[in-house]
Each structure stands twice: as structure tokens, then as C-alpha cells.
Structure 1
């Protein structure tokens, strides 16, 4: 009786193949839709309705948007936002550039001092607000004590309409100048040494090298820092609310704070949603403009020949 023939081995073939990438992408799409798309779509829907918390909603179309140009408090908040943003961008950019040049040089304990300098940006906004509120106190604050040491009169700081926004910008500058410095330090580290060596041979001064070599080379990095600071300053809320709540009166009320008051103090959800949509559109337009300017900023656009 002969031996039975051994069964021939069959190559194993996969029974399940992924024919599309959608099974992997779909969870992320669902999460993005639930967290980002749906809230904004619902906000847009609410902005077209007259709706107060606890009441019924009624469709009013563009009435909430047409109300904005005639709202004097919204116009005042827009001016405060612009004023605050300009100061909160220019001052950190200026001081951050100076700090980056200083900390780029080699000196003892440079690494330690860099670490100390960036500590403000690690603190939480509410803690910063509480500390600065005590420092701003007209009678007990340390700032007026320091002014008295140099013979200057005491100030009301955040308790006067004329000085409240510059005082808030002082806090913003103290916290975010280190961020600008870190961005520009990266730009300074990327500059080659050859241009400086050539400038020294030609007899250029340090100021000439800074104006004609350093500034043109770090201009794109300055634009990046300006974009980040502008977007952050426009939507600033926590520091302002924790220190002044928009006061005294409405002297420091920005669009963000006015939006909060309309929606959660006056419970006018429809009008508050319209403000949110317009504010979001302004932020997007501003970001697009800054990015366009950033793309046009070349390494040789600033400065000239020595």
C-alpha cells in the first residue's frame, strides 16, 4: 500500500485588506466636527436669532449684525482693543529684540539669566493678575513706592481711565517679552559670521552692523513674533478680566470682554453670538494679512549696503 501524497502547501493570502484610508481618518473627522465645526455652526445659527437665556428664540436674520455699527459700547470696545493690541505688540517686540541681542552675547551666567528671564511666561494668568493687582494698589502697591524713591508722584495705574490700558499692557509686556526674545534668539543663532567679519574689515561700527546686517537677517523672525503677539493680544481676556473686569467703568473693556458681558451678564445669546462671529472674522482677516506680509518679508528687504 503506497504512501499518501503529502498535501501541497498553499500560500497564505490575507482575507482583509484596507481599501480606503477613511477608517483611520474618520475618528479624527468626527472629533474635529464635534469640537470645532459644530460649535461654530451653532454660534452662526444663534447669531441669526433673538435669543435670551430662559426665553424662546425667534429668527431675526441679520438684525443682530446691523445692530453692531450703531452700538456705541461695541465701537468703544473696538477702539480699546486696537489701542491695547498696538501697545501689546510694539513694546514686547522692541524689548524682546533688545533682550535677544543682549542674551546672544557671551558673558558669565548667561544660561542662568536666560532661564530667569523666561520665567514670567511660565506663570498662570490668574496668578500674574493677582500679583500685579497688589502691585498696582495706589497706597500699598510696590510700584508707587518705587516711583517715590526716584521723586515721581504716585499713579492710579489700573484705577484711572487714562492709565488703565497702558498699565495692563505693562503686565502683558512683562509676561510675553521672553517669548519674543526666544524667537529672535533662534534668528540670531542662524546668522553666519562672514557678514560681520567683512563689515569689521570695512570699518563698520557696531550700530551699523546691527542696522544693516542683524535687523535684515532677523526680520522674518520678527514678523513671526509680531504675528503671534498680535493674534494673542487681540483675543486677550484673562489678564484684563482678572485685574479690572473691563473697568473702571468700561475704560478697559475690549471686544472679548464686551462679548462676555453681553452673553453671560445680560444673557443676550443672539447678539453675543453675532459679536463672536464678527470678532472671529476680524481675527482671521488680521491673521491672513499678517501671514501675507510674512511671506513678502525677505532676508534682504530691510537695510542696505554699508
Structure 2
């Protein structure tokens, strides 16, 4: 209640804590506590069904000498590089759908349909298509005289096959992001470029690409983080096989914690992987800060 003393009025500051506390409780319960508990488990020697004991940095030192962990890290980074394919194809698709032609809206809707499917459903469909004897892909290859491939059943081709599925499903997302950037690009610089005699490639290289660079960086950040933590499609299609040829850190972590019940070692792996993701995300955000809107008049 305000206190009035003559001509002076004292107003109490509004209290926002009743609105902030519920959010803080949710954040603490959903984010802070799980990570604090994971850190605590990572410094313990803990296998389900056995007694727990303090291990200090033992689990982290074990990671440094674990060849399977380093192999899974290489697989994770290799799989993450697959973001280059949907970036290129998504940008190309955005340029195509930005033009005006008949049935453009219908074709846009068809193009984004893979992104709407659930990952496990996508994995099951592509697993059937990749079947060496019964899959439709080998049948199509036989029509043009190409020998049948083993796809996800061969250690040499399993990662490229998974990258193909990743590209098929998430190229539409990149297309939508870039298409939004193209919709915000002003037309005046292109009209001036046409008057000056610039061809289509020159307009794209010196006008379109610099203007949509912030949107491309957003797409790169989203897809890189998503590819790093990808689990469902890989596990549903290969379970990390054949052998460990497609075992990413997520798959190895899952097997360690929930198949071998080594909770302490799996928690240490989760902490290290989290640090890798944070470092890479920070680097990408720094690059995002450097991508500025380009003044086409050179001012």
C-alpha cells in the first residue's frame, strides 16, 4: 500500500518473486539437479547391483585410454559432418522454391514431408529399403547394371548410408530456414545488378549469399547440435553395428550405462560429451556473431 505524507508519495517496488520462483524450481528440477547428479555419479565407481565407492578421476582417466570411446568419438564427428549435405541441398532447394512457378505451394508441402515423420518410422522404412536382398534400392541399382550394395550391413558403407538418411530427412528444415532468409532479402540491389549486367551466379555470389549468411549460420548451428546428439535413427537402424562401425558416443554411452550397468563410467562419458557439445556450440555461436548483414552499397 502506498504511504501518503503530505505531497510526497512512497510507492513500494513490485514483487516479482512469486512469478520467478516456479520457473526456478522447474529449471532446477529438470536441468540443474540431473546434471549435478550426473557429475556426482561420474566420480564414483558404481555398477548396478554392486556397492558404490568413490573413484575420483578414475572414470575420466579410463576414458582417455579407452580405444572404443575414441572410435565412437570419430564416428560421432564423422556423422556430424553430414550437415554439409543438407546445407548444400537445402540452400539449392530454397533457391528453387523461391522462384515463382506453377504448383509451387504443393511441391513445397511435399518436399517438407520427410521432416514431419518420426525418426523411428524413418529408420524402419530405410532399413527395409537398405536390405541387401529385398530392398528396393538394390533393385533400382540392378536396373542400371550396378551390383547390389550391403549398405548398413557393411562396416565401410554404414556411416555413408546413415548420412544419406540424415540428409533425406533434414534437408527440408534447412530449406525452410533459408527460404525465410530469401523472403527478407530486398529486391533493389538485384535490380541494380541486372542493370549493371551481372549474371545469375554473380548475383548469388555477391548479393544473395552474403545476405542470407546469418540464416545459413542458424541452420548450421541447429543441424550440428542435432547431429551430435543423434541417437534414435542410428540405434533403430544399426544399434551401433555392424560390430562397432556406427557406434557413436550416444550409442556407446547408452550401452555402457543401460546394457553393462556401469553407471559411473557412463556418467563420466556423458560429462565429457557435454563439454564437447558446449565447446562446439560456443565456437558456432562465435561464428554466428561474426556473420553480419552486408551493406550492398559498400557503406
TM-score range, shorter chain: over 0.9
Match of 2:108 in 1: 114
Residue 81 of structure 1 is matched in structure 2 by 76
Work out the CA distance in 2 between the residues paired with 1:24 and 1:203. 59
| SS in structure 2 of the partner of residue 31 of structure 1 | helix
Distance, in Å, in 1 between the alignment partners of 2:22 and 2:200 is 56
Give the whole-Å Cα distance in 1 for the aligned partners of 2:13 and 2:146: 75
1:165 aligns with 159
What does residue 227 of structure 1 align with? 221
Q: CA deviation at 1:246?
A: 0.1
State the partner residue of 1:63: 58
Post-superposition offset of 1:79: 0.4
| d(CA) in 2 for partners of 1:148, 1:192 | 48
Give me the CA root mean square deviation. Answer: 1.6
Counterparts of residues 1-306 of structure 1 (less than 5 Å): 20-87=15-82, 89-300=83-294
Q: Which has the larger radius of gyration?
A: 1
Question: Normalization by structure 2: what TM-score?
Answer: 0.93
Structure 1 CA distance, aligned partners of 2:141 and 2:13? Answer: 71
Cα separation, partners in 2 of 1:277 and 1:304, compared to 1, 3 Å: farther
Secondary structure, in 3 states, of the residue corresponding to 1:300? coil
How far apart, in 1, do the equivalents of 2:49 and 2:288 lie?
47
Alpha-carbon offset, residue 58 of structure 1:
0.4
- Cα deviation per residue 1:164-183 (whole Å; 9 max; x = unaligned)? 00100111111100000000
Q: Deviations over 1:157-214 (max 9, x none)?
A: 0000010001001111111000000000011111111111111111111111111111
Q: Contact between 1:246 and 1:254, CA under 8 Å: does it hold in 2? A: yes
Distance 1:22 1:197, change over 3 A: same
For 1:263 and 1:180, the matched residues in 2 are separated by 34
Deviations 1:121-162 (A, max 9, x none): 111111111100000001110111111222222111000001
Q: Deviations over 1:80-106 (max 9, x none)?
A: 00111002x100000000000000000
Provide the rounded CA distance (Å) in 1 between the counterparts of 2:168 and 2:297: 33
Q: Residues 291 and 154 from structure 1, CA distance in 2 versus in 1: closer, same or farther, beyond 3 angstroms?
A: same
Q: In 2, Cα distance between the equivalents of 1:75 and 1:263?
A: 17
Per-residue Cα deviation, 1:251-291 (whole angstroms, up to 9, x for no partner): 00000000001001110000000000111111111111100
Equivalent in the alignment of 2:8:
none
Superposed CA deviations along residues 224-264 of structure 1, whole A, max 9, x for unmatched, are 00000000000000000000000000000000000001001
TM-score by structure 1 length? 0.91
Alignment correspondent of 1:12: none
